[in-house]
Amino acid sequence: MTEIIVVTSGKGGVGKTTTSASLSCGLARRGKKVAVIDFDIGLRNLDLIMGCERRVVYDFVNVIQGDCTLKQALIKDKRLETLYVLAASQTRDKDALSSDGVRRVLDELAAEGFDYVICDSPAGIEKGAHLAMYFADRAVVVVNPEVSSVRDSDRILGLLASKTHRAELGNGGVKEHLLLTRYSPRRVATGEMMSVTDVKDILGLDVIGVVPESADVLSASNSGVPVILNESSDASRAYDDAVGRLLGETLPLRFIDEPKKGFFARMFGG
């Protein structure tokens, strides 16, 4: 049974691609066979975050248009045996993605025995975002604790509840999860930033993860190594917890309280 998970948000720049990369690595690291697909046609980026940009020969649109087979287009990750990347097309027009084409690719991945397909949605609510969510079983809605991100994510929740295959079938719809990124416990403590509970209350979703604001996320993208693989990082542990929860584990939320600082850290650590 293949589970299709869309990583979506509405607003751009909140961490969809970072999240897609880390969740797919985390699932693969636990032995699952995973394909991660970049739906951002024209603005390919997942390949960079995954560090496989120089190995892209064929892309998603090539597969849909029959220029190559799916096997030829799937890029096998060099670190994790069971992880594959399908890059977005860089040059062609957005209409190159069709609902039928996407369905064929997903069906073929299911036939190949993939456990998970992670669909990295583009920002916005246009065709790419629509197709990324359309066939999903579950949705990870990536949100920053900030007004525009929260509002946009609520728009996305509206679309998940109406414009998806599962919603149309009327059998319970897409299961939605909230993943907060760029969370700063310090600023939450001073009342400058909305807390996990605030955002959870507003959106009414269960929280699958809270990723703290971390300098490691930028270094990860700089070097093309998804942040979850940097095991000394809090962001890595937070993403790994989210992976565990996706798999049904019950884990307490970490990194949501301000770390207690000693005297010297307070004086010199900023």
Partner 1 sequence: MGLLALFRRNPPTASVAKERLRIIVAQQRSARGGPDYLPLLRRELLEVIKKYVNVDPEAVQVNLEREDDHEVLELSVALPGGPAPKEA
269 to 29, 65, 182, 192, 263: CA distances (angstroms):
34, 55, 20, 20, 9
CB closer to partner 1, 165 vs 200? 200
Asked if 146 interacts with partner 1 (CB under 8 A), we say: yes
How is 183-248 classified by DSSP, letter by letter?
A: E-HHHHHTTSS--HHHHHHHHT-EEEEEEEP-HHHHHHHHHT--GGG-TTSHHHHHHHHHHHHHTT
Q: Which of 93, 126, 168, 198 binds partner 1 (CB under 8 A)?
A: 198
Residue 215 interacts with partner 1 (CB under 8 A): yes or no? no
Q: Position of tokens 């969510």? A: 133
CB of 188 to partner 1, least distance (A): 7
Scanning 89-97, 126-134, 149-157, 177-185 for contacts with partner 1 by CB under 8 A, the matching segment is 149-157
- Regarding 155 and contact with partner 1 (CB under 8 A), the answer is yes
The enclosing H or E element of 142 equals strand 138-143
Q: Which of 12, 13, 31, 158 binds partner 1 (CB under 8 A)?
A: 158
The smaller minimum CB distance to partner 1, of residues 10 and 51, is found at 10
Sheet holding 175-183, edge to edge: 75-76, 83-86, 34-38, 116-120, 3-8, 138-143, 175-183, 206-212
Q: Say how many residues touch partner 1, by CB under 8 A.
A: 20
Q: b/e map of 169-203 (b: 16 or more CB within 10 Å)? A: eeeebbebbbbbbbbebeebeeeebbbbeebbeeb
Site for partner 1 in 68-97 (CB under 8 A): none
Stretch in the footprint of partner 1 (CB under 8 A) among 30-38, 71-79, 122-130, 152-160: 152-160
Of the residues 65, 69, 72, 162, which one makes contact with partner 1 according to CB under 8 A: 162
Least Cβ distance, residue 203 to partner 1 (angstroms): 7
Residues that bind partner 1 (CB under 8 A): 146-147, 150-151, 154-155, 158, 161-162, 188, 190-195, 198, 201-203
